[in-house]
Structure 1
Amino acid sequence: MYKVDLQTDVKEAAAIEARRNREKQRQSRIFNTRYRTMGVDVEGLKGQVEERKLRENAEKERDEAFDADRVQCDKIAQMLEEEERQRKKQLNQAVVEFWKQEQQPFMSREWDIHNPEAIREGVPARVSDDDPRCGPSSMQRFAGEDLNAAQRKLQKEQNKRVLELQTTERKKGLANQKYADILDDKKRIELDLRALELARLEEECRRAKAMAIADFNRAQAAEVAEQQRLAQQREQDNNNAEIHNHLTSNFLTENPDTAKSLMGPQRVIVSQWKGMSAAEVEAVLKMQEEQCKENQRMREAERQREAEWGRQQELAARAAMVVEEEEQNFRRRLRMGLDAYNKELAEAQKSNLHYMEKEVYTNAPTAQYHLQFSTSSR
């Protein structure tokens, strides 16, 4: 059987070539010192740049959409403003039309005052003497004025009667005024007399009141003087009684019974206590002497206890010195043993190192040994 050359599978060859290319790219990335130490991922940066561009495009599209919405809103706002302006215009036109139809100047209540044609359109102030508009205050018809000459005689007779009537009324008024003046004078004289009488009576009442007040003041002054005299007499009596009470009181006589308290025989009232008696002083001195003896006994016992404590402390110090000396000797022996052990251990390590250098590590690596590293990315 003869050996023949078989064609390599195309897919397998392509896969092998692709693996080789990927391996070369991986080696170029791994063996590149700057790329490896700085950690720059070019593909990652490219991806970030693409993502940034996509984000910027999306933001741009969003801004454009917002701008379109804004323009649309502005147009709607302008349309609404135009509708509002038209509605206001129509409302103003309707108001003006209402004024023209329902609020004409001649329809107001004050039109008679402001009407420029009021004089021409108005009726005359006086049509005849019998015009009902000509009243007493119209100033259109006066006494003695008459447009009808035929009735002038009747007017004269009427004026004569009126004059006679006015004369009669004037005389009567003068007589009434004179009578009223007489009555007024009489009334004034009567009032003056009555005022004089009232003044006299008031003066008498004032004089009587002053006399009564003076009598009352004299009586009141006498009463006050008597009360003061009695008060001074009572105060003098009270002072004499107080002096007598002080002279005969337990405070000045120094009565010892007043210092006894109801709380017990051993209690006294401090504010009234006048001091101890001779028996009490003697008892106190005796008690002080006993207390002095007791204090001496306690001081002696305390001195004995302190001496005993001193002896105990001395014995404890001696025992501590002995224990400390034994501990130092033990530490010295322990340190000497450790030094000997460390020396033996150092000798053993030195011999082991000599053995490793002379017997075990005899084949030293060469430069060719180190060149086999970093030849693959795996």
Structure 2
Amino acid sequence: MFNLNLPPDPKEVAAIEARRNRERERQNRFFDVRTRVIGVDVRALNSQVQEQKLREAAERSKEAAYGANQVHFDLVAQMLQKKEEERKRWLPQKVQEFPAQGQQLKKMHEFCLWDPDQPWKGYSACRGDTKPQCGPASMQCLSREDLDRTTCRRMQQEFKHSLEKQVKEQQQARAEEISADELRDKLRLAVDTRAAQLAKLEESCCKAMRYAVANANKVQAAEQAERKRQEHQREQATSFKDIQHQVNSGLLTGKHHITQHAEAPSQVLPHSWKGMTPEPRTTIKKFQEAQCHEKQAQRQAEKALEAQWGSQAINLAQAALELEEQEKELCAEFRRGLGSFNQQLAQEQKAQQNYLNSIIYTNQPTAHYLQFNTSSR
């Protein structure tokens, strides 16, 4: 068997859809009376395009200013980050070098709380003699005698050099801190200046946009005023022509032959008809009077017929009342006969019951008869 459920050709489907879209657009274009008759306001569209271009230019300038500001801020942030990284890099090194340079054992001035004389116990009473038996009273150190003068001078020079180095480092650190503060102040000043410039630029852009919008509005207002003036002039010209035509035409002359149709004299022209002549009016009035007489005669006949129907309804109501009274009398007589019959029947039943009780049912039942109907077996 042949497979008939084949998918449609995409090219054919696309062509059909394109034709449908073109036809739909054509119908919209033809059926839109306003666009077909009046057209499109090209000036308004051009003004809107110009406003859009101005708005886009202002947006581009604002974005460019923001971009330049962001680039400047990025550079400053990179500089600060680089300086902070350098500080983090040399600060641990300085912290590690400080104990080795400024906190040596020989430069310590602290004393033990439990033994304040501990620093002096390591030295003998005589600097040139290291004998432990020689105490402070041995007078081994004479006046003006200094055996460790060279060592003391060297230590003083080293201490002075280290002190100068520390002072220089402190001064350098203070100078770096001052330069960092100055750099931060400059950065803050640059940021404030840039913000002020951006604010001024934004304000100028807003002013330019408002000025452009105001100019566009003025142009549109002028165009609208000119359009209204032209429309007013056209309306006045049309009104003047209409008045002139009415004055010069036969519409206001009062001649009845003008209202007759040229091809059919029995017909009139609706646009120039001014009313009927006295002859048709008299004919119409007579016809209306005849219609009134006929209407009155018809009303009188209807009234007579209604009176006849009313009398007939009254007679029928009286006959119904008489029949109802007869029915009531028959019902009362039937009830009286039924009552007498029931009374006679009751007397006969009573006599029959007395006969049964006094003559027929004289024997009393014994215990043999009482056993019946006492169980289910």
Scaled by the length of structure 2, the TM-score of the pair is 0.31
| Greater gyration radius | 1
Structure of higher RCO (CA pairs closer than 8 Å, 6+ residues apart): 1
